[in-house]
A and B are shown apart, each in its own frame.
Chain A
Amino acid sequence: MEGKELGLWGSSVIGAIGLLVFLSLWEILVRTNVIDPFFLPAPTQVIDKAIQMTTAKDAVLLTDIKISATRVLTGFLLSVLAGVPAGLILGMNPVIRAAINPIISIIRPLPALSWIPLSMLWLGIDEQQKYAIVFMGSFASILVYTTDATMRVDPTLRRAAMNLGASPLQILRYVILPGALPDLLTGLKVVLAIAWTCVISAEMVGANSGLGFRIWTAKEWSDTGQVLVGMISISVTVLVLDILFRGLERVLLPYQRKTSGT
C-alpha cells in the first residue's frame, strides 16, 4: 500500500468514513451534554433546522442561497467582462502594462471589506452595492491573472501563427486566447471563491436578505443552529459552483483531459 495512489472510489469511501466519524463524535458530545447545545447544536438538530428553514412556507434558506448566488455571479461576471479584455491588452502591450501596474498594485491588496464603507456611501445597501463589492473585490485579481496568463503564452506559438500568415487580431483569437485559457480558468476559480467572501461580508454589514444577512440575524437571536445552517449552505454552494466550474474546464480544455492520462 505504501506510496500507492488510492483510486477515486477508495478515497471517496475513506473520506465518507472520516466525515461520519467526525459527525458521530460531535453528536455524541452534544447528546451527553459535554458540549452545551446552546453553543453548538448537534448535527441532527442542525439538519432539523435546515429542514425547517426550507420547508416553511417562506423557504428562507433557498431564497437566501438564490439571492447570494445571484449577487456573487452578477458581480463576478461583470468583473470578468471588464477584467479579462483589459488583462489581455495589458498582457500584450508592455507600455500600457507599465502605465497601469502601479494603480493595480495599490488596489489589489485592499480587502473587499475595506470597500464596504465607500460603496455604502455611494450606493446605499441595495443590490448594486453588493455587485460593486464583488466587482471591487475580484476585478484587480482577474486583471492580474489574465495579464499573467497572456504573458505566459509560448512566444514561439505566436511566431508560428504569424509565420503562417495570421494578423494581430487572428493571433489574439486563435493563439493568445486558447493559449491563456488554462491559466485563466485556474485564476477565475480562485477569484470566484474570493467573490463569495465579498458578498457574505457585505451582507453581514448592510443587507436584508442573503446568507450573510441570515447568519448575522441568527447571531442577534443567539440562534446557533441557524448560524450553522447558513455556514454549511455557503460551503455547499461554493462546492457546487466549483464542480460546475470543473465541468466547464473539461469542456473548454479537452486536450488537457486526454494528455494528463490515467
Chain B
Amino acid sequence: MSETLIKFDNITKRFSLRKGDIVAVKDFSLEIKKGEILTIVGASGCGKTTVLNMVAGFLTPSSGNILLDGQPITKIEPRCGMIFQNYALFPWLSVRKNVEFGPKINGVSKKVRREESAKYIEMVGLKGFEDAYPGELSGGMRQRTALCRVLANKPDILLCDEPFAALDAMTRQIMQQELLRIVNESGQTVLFITHSIDEALILSDKIVVMSVRPGTVKHIYDIELPHFGKVEVQLTDEYLKLKRQIWAMVEEEVKISMKIVSS
C-alpha cells in the first residue's frame, strides 16, 4: 500500500503528579499509512487522548519519538487538525467565525472563506445557526461546529477525539458518512477515537485496541468491510464476527480497569 505517514516508535508518556508519577502510555508502537482511517478503542482512562495530544504536539513523549513523514514532532503541528473531546470552541465567536478561524489565520481571502464555511456548515446541518454563539448551541451542535472548524482548515491529518459522542444515533450516522465522503475525496489521514465499536467498524481501515493503563497496543485489526454499505454491512457475518471479537477484547480491558480502580 502507500507510505507510512505517522510512526510511533516505542512511545512512553509519564505524568508527574504530587503523589508520584503515573505512566499513561507505555511502549506504544504503531504505524499509520497515508490516507488510512485508523481508530483507537479502549477503556476510559487508558491513554487514548494522551496519544492524540502527542501527535498534535500538545504533549511530548517521555521517551521515544513520533515521526511525521520521518521527522519527529517537536512542536504543535498544524498539519494535524484536532477535534477536541471538549470542543474548545471560541465562545466569543459565532459559529461562522469559529469555522473561519483557521482559514482567516492562514490568510484565505474573505470571499473564499465565506463560501467554504457556508459549505461545511450546511454539510453538518447547522445552516441558520451561522450567527449563533457556542453558548447558544446544544452539545451536539457544538461538536458539529468543532468538526467544521477543523475540516475548513484542511489539515493533512484529522485527529478526532470522540467527535460524535454527543450526537443522537441518526445524526451520528449521517456525520459518519459525511466524514467518510470528505476523507475519501481529500485523501486525508484520520486518527479516530471512539467508544463505539460499531462506529469503529464502519469508519476504519484499521482498529487498534489499547490495553488498560499504562496504555499500549493490545491488538490491531485490519478491517476490509465496505465503508459505504451503511446499515446492511452491519448485518453481515463478517461484521458481526469482528464486532464480537473486538467487543470481548475491550470488555476484558474494561473489567481489568474497573478492578484496578475499585481495589
List A residues at the B interface (Cβ < 8 Å).
Answer: 154, 156-157, 159-166, 170, 174-175, 178-179, 181, 253-255, 258-259
A255 touches B135 (CB 8 A): yes
Residues of A within 8 A of B93 (CB): 178, 255
A255 touches B133 (CB 8 A): yes
Residues of A within 8 A of B77 (CB): 163
Known: A163-B56, A164-B78. A170 touches B90 (CB 8 A): no
**Interface assignment of B113: CB less than 8 Å from any CB of chain A:** no
B92 touches A253 (CB 8 A): yes
B92 touches A165 (CB 8 A): no
Residues of B within 8 A of A160 (CB): 82, 84, 88-90
Q: Which residue of B lies closest to A255 (CB)?
A: B133
A163 partner, pick from B82, B92, B133, beta carbons under 8 A: B82
State the Cβ distance, B66 to closest chain A Cβ, in Å: 15
Pick the interface stretch among B27-35, B98-106, B211-219, B224-232.
Answer: B98-106
A178 touches B90 (CB 8 A): yes
A258 touches B81 (CB 8 A): no
State the Cβ distance, A66 to closest chain B Cβ, in Å: 36
B149 touches A164 (CB 8 A): yes
Mark contacts of B74-88 with chain A using CB atoms, 8 A cut-off: 1 yes-contact digit, 0 otherwise: 001110111010101
Residues of A within 8 A of B60 (CB): none
A156 touches B92 (CB 8 A): no
Known: A165-B106, A255-B133. A156 touches B86 (CB 8 A): yes
**Interface assignment of B153: CB less than 8 Å from any CB of chain A:** yes
Q: Which residue of B lies closest to A156 (CB)?
A: B88
Residues of B within 8 A of A170 (CB): 105
Give A100 to B153 CA distance when docked, in angstroms: 39
**Interface assignment of B91: CB less than 8 Å from any CB of chain A:** yes
Residues of B within 8 A of A156 (CB): 84, 86, 88
Residues of B within 8 A of A181 (CB): 92
B88 touches A255 (CB 8 A): no
Give A164 to B152 CA distance when docked, in angstroms: 10
**Interface assignment of B15: CB less than 8 Å from any CB of chain A:** no
A165 touches B90 (CB 8 A): no
B135 touches A163 (CB 8 A): no
Give A39 to B93 CA distance when docked, in angstroms: 57
State the Cβ distance, B112 to closest chain A Cβ, in Å: 16
Q: Which residue of B lies closest to A162 (CB)?
A: B76
Give A215 to B108 CA distance when docked, in angstroms: 60
Residues of A within 8 A of B81 (CB): 163-164
A157 touches B88 (CB 8 A): yes
B105 partner, pick from A166, A178, A253, beta carbons under 8 A: A166
State the Cβ distance, B193 to closest chain A Cβ, in Å: 16
Q: Which residue of B lies closest to A257 (CB)?
A: B133
Give A164 to B86 CA distance when docked, in angstroms: 16
A259 touches B133 (CB 8 A): yes
B136 touches A163 (CB 8 A): no
State the Cβ distance, A61 to closest chain B Cβ, in Å: 41
Counting chain B CB atoms within 10 Å of each CB, which of A154, A166, A178 scores highest?
Answer: A166
Give A154 to B92 CA distance when docked, in angstroms: 13
